[in-house]
Structure 1
């Protein structure tokens, strides 16, 4: 399994539309950086957020998610309350190749402020926007800048083709657009 370079990422994105919209170079002046890096792609967070709240005092249940747990927000800067959490989505839409697994890690600019980004791996043949989990671990409100970098994606090419891709198993988040809340198959 090999980690893929900037050249490979550009080729797959330009010829096969792996990342759309695609930024061929890294943009980093006066913004949290985004675009192609040496061995990854820095994704941007969109301008729509779902911020967790305890106003309704409901329980967070991944099997039966109650939308009273969140407040919708749209804007250039999202304030995540202290010790709280928000969901967002990438600006970019992904089409992961059959023999590739992508892993996403939060950017150090946010991590150094106590903001932790979590994204599960992008499985082979996953297609869609990526839902991003943003945790503010600090006792202070935290700013998240829309349309700027939030995390870096690393692409790993398998030594052999897997038997079942995310598309083959009809993954529950396949083709997701916008911010997708937790689901279970029924």
Structure 2
């Protein structure tokens, strides 16, 4: 299979009605208003979200059953924006109606604007003393590996959390945040950094001398201790690990990715960050030329995680879930937005929300979605799963 470029997408849309309505170029502005871009990109099409939503609410204590969605569990919302509650989800649909060719499979990626991402070489501080890049974590997660890191929990307390679903998002513009330890963090402009007082600030809005919430580690008798910002003291890391193990009902016979057990081995000096400061400060912020591969991960328990560079950043927000569009399927695409953060999340109607990638096979399939009479063929509006 090969991915199809902009000129192929444009031809198939204009001559064969593959996408209706169709926008021939990238739209980023509406008058003086900056938009989340939509339209043709180099190797894909950025779709828009319509202004009709079904927001999940659990007021009836319903079970989310993919075979039998209960209509009473959703609130219908129509308007220019949709607010998704923390750790909840909403269903929507694309403005565009698709007609997929017989020899094409279409997959969907969420836009990094909603995910809030980092460059793939960004390193994450793990409790086992290592600091893999997000790109490496994404590969290892595909093999079933689990990861644990540091987060700021309730009342500004440092805790251990599981870091879930490290994944590739797409390509986007970045800014470089330079810290006073001369380390650089490359993030999408809207990615949130935790300030020393617990407030959040987007990367592009950070200013010189702003204090960030720090992750500090040092060796005490050959073992790692971590700085607890709530108390201002260093505490043994194994205390945090044991506390997390107790919450997770772990026993000493269960192995997790803390170097094999709940009592950690000594760390070398080289693996521990040293600092005499009690916060990190921003040195400068600058835009980075071009577009770059970006990655993110999810922290359901706390909504934030620590980077190896010694600061805490927000959980990477919205996940867009879409089943691949099969050969000869047609209809409006139903979009599922999962808010994996601990804060409400906003979705904008009539702006870009996801990118469709078109993969063309070397030959046509024997049986297409149309041939087998798929139950979602020709769907209009927001469509709930059918039994």
**Residues 4-153 of structure 1 correspond to what in structure 2 (within 5 A)?**
4-29=4-29, 30-112=34-116, 114-153=317-356
Distance 1:118 1:168 in 2: 25
Map of 1:178 onto structure 2: 381
Distance 2:62 2:336 in 1: 19
Query: How many Å separate the matches in 1 of 2:382 and 2:68?
Result: 17
Q: 2: distance between equivalents of 1:105 and 1:63?
A: 24
1:169 aligns with 2:372: yes
Cα distance in 2 for residues equivalent to 1:135 and 1:62: 15
Report the Cα distance in structure 2 between the residues aligned to 1:21 and 1:96, rounded to whole angstroms: 14
The CA deviation string for residues 78-107 of structure 1, in whole angstroms up to 9 with x for no partner, is 000111100000000000000000000000
CA distance in 1: counterparts of 2:69 and 2:81, whole angstroms? 26
Matched length: 184
CA separation in 2, counterparts of 1:85 and 1:78?
11
Distance 2:362 2:374 in 1: 23
Give the secondary-structure state (helix, strand or coil) at the position aligned to 2:58: coil
Instruction: Provide the rounded CA distance (Å) in 2 between the counterparts of 1:96 and 1:173.
Output: 13
Compute the RMSD of aligned alpha carbons.
Answer: 0.7
Partner of 1:34, secondary structure, is: strand
Separation of aligned partners in 2, 1:84 and 1:66:
15
Note the C-alpha offset of 1:65: 1.8
Runs of 4+ in structure 1 deviating by more than 6 angstroms, as ranges, are: none
Higher mean alpha-carbon deviation, 104-113 vs 127-136, is at 104-113
Deviations 1:111-145 (Å, cap 9, x if unpaired)?
11501111110000000000000011111111100
Structure 1: gaps of 5 or more residues: none
